[in-house]
Amino acid sequence: MDWWENYFDKETIDLHKASLALGQTDTEARLLPNILEVESGDSILDLCCGYGRLAVPLAMAGYRVTGVDISSTALDQLKSAAEENSVRIRAVQADMRSLPFTDEFDAAILMNHSFGVFHNDLDNRTVINACARGMRSGAVLLIELHNPATMSEFLGGAKGTDVVRMGRWDVNLDWSYIDSESVFQMRFVWHRGQRRIEKWHRLKIYDVQELESMCQESGFSRVEFYADLTGDRSYFEHRESTPYLVVKALR
């Protein structure tokens, strides 16, 4: 079984919520429409939408949102959040390599460093192909990634351990970044009552040349790279300082 197949249960989702910086969701939801070049009423695909962290505020802002995730637990929380906020969001449980859409969306987002979860490059390329197939001509695909140029510095070293407080839990972290393979791995261990919970994840980190090639091969006509979601700061000008690599690809 691949790590992502059973990673997103209730405990891991709660941990993710606790790890967010104050105001992070509000800031991202406010910035996304501008960089996506969408208007109220346009359709947005939120791929790996999770519990609706961004899907719900985007729907509240007037966009028609479809959220896709592999986790039924996450999608149940998305549906509950949509109902609580009186918005309509189409929730679809699917593997992002085989999305059931064609020429449907004005924009698509893949946030939270969710690209690169598969072990081989072909599967990760297939994700971009699936996105392209589901998007209309002129639509924008946005992918938020770790910056490969600053991974080791951002993590405090190529290998490390730490104990961090996330919400109600002290979480033990072990991580490694294998530069020669461009692979980032992290293990989480925390306790909830008498239960010991251990999860790990693995991401392939791609550079701009690889990402540009993937997008162009999938039919995107223009690919741009930014240091954050404002769309104002070129990745190349801030390559050595930003923890982020934001890809904007025009269909």
* Domain match, 131 and 160 both: no
Tokens coding 72: 């039924």
3-state secondary structure of 89: strand
Residue 164 has pLDDT above 90, yes or no: no
* Domain match, 122 and 158 both: no
Average pLDDT, the chain: 92
Residue 155 has pLDDT above 80, yes or no: no
* Per-residue model confidence as pLDDT tens digits over 46-76: 999 999 999 999 999 999 999 999 999 999 9
The mean per-residue pLDDT over the stretch 226-231 comes to 97
* Domain match, 168 and 60 both: no
* Domain match, 8 and 87 both: yes
The mean per-residue pLDDT over the stretch 31-39 comes to 98
Whole-angstrom distance, CA of residue 233 vs CA of residue 224: 11
* Domain match, 189 and 221 both: no
pTM, full prediction = 0.94
Residue 157 has pLDDT above 60, yes or no: no
3-state secondary structure of 52: coil
Examine the fold and report which residue of 164, 179, 201 is the final residue of a domain before the chain moves on. Answer: 201
Cα-based angle 21, 26, 31 (whole degrees, multiple of 5): 110
* Domain match, 229 and 125 both: yes
Residue 170 has pLDDT above 70, yes or no: yes
Residue 230 has pLDDT above 70, yes or no: yes
Q: What is the pLDDT of residue 32?
A: 98
* Domain match, 138 and 27 both: yes
- By residue range, what is the domain housing residue 217? 3-147+206-250
Q: For residues 118 and 201, is the Cβ–Cβ distance under 8 A?
A: no
The mean per-residue pLDDT over the stretch 94-100 comes to 96
* Domain match, 9 and 56 both: yes
Q: For residues 93 and 102, is the Cβ–Cβ distance under 8 A?
A: no
* Domain match, 52 and 89 both: yes
Q: For residues 79 and 93, is the Cβ–Cβ distance under 8 A?
A: no
The mean per-residue pLDDT over the stretch 148-167 comes to 75
Examine the fold and report which residue of 201, 224, 242 is the final residue of a domain before the chain moves on. Answer: 201
* Domain match, 131 and 227 both: yes
* Domain match, 141 and 225 both: yes
Our count of domains for the chain comes to 2
* Domain match, 48 and 119 both: yes
* Per-residue model confidence as pLDDT tens digits over 110-131: 999 999 999 899 999 999 999 9
Examine the fold and report which residue of 166, 186, 201 is the final residue of a domain before the chain moves on. Answer: 201
CATH of the domain at 85: 3.40.50.150
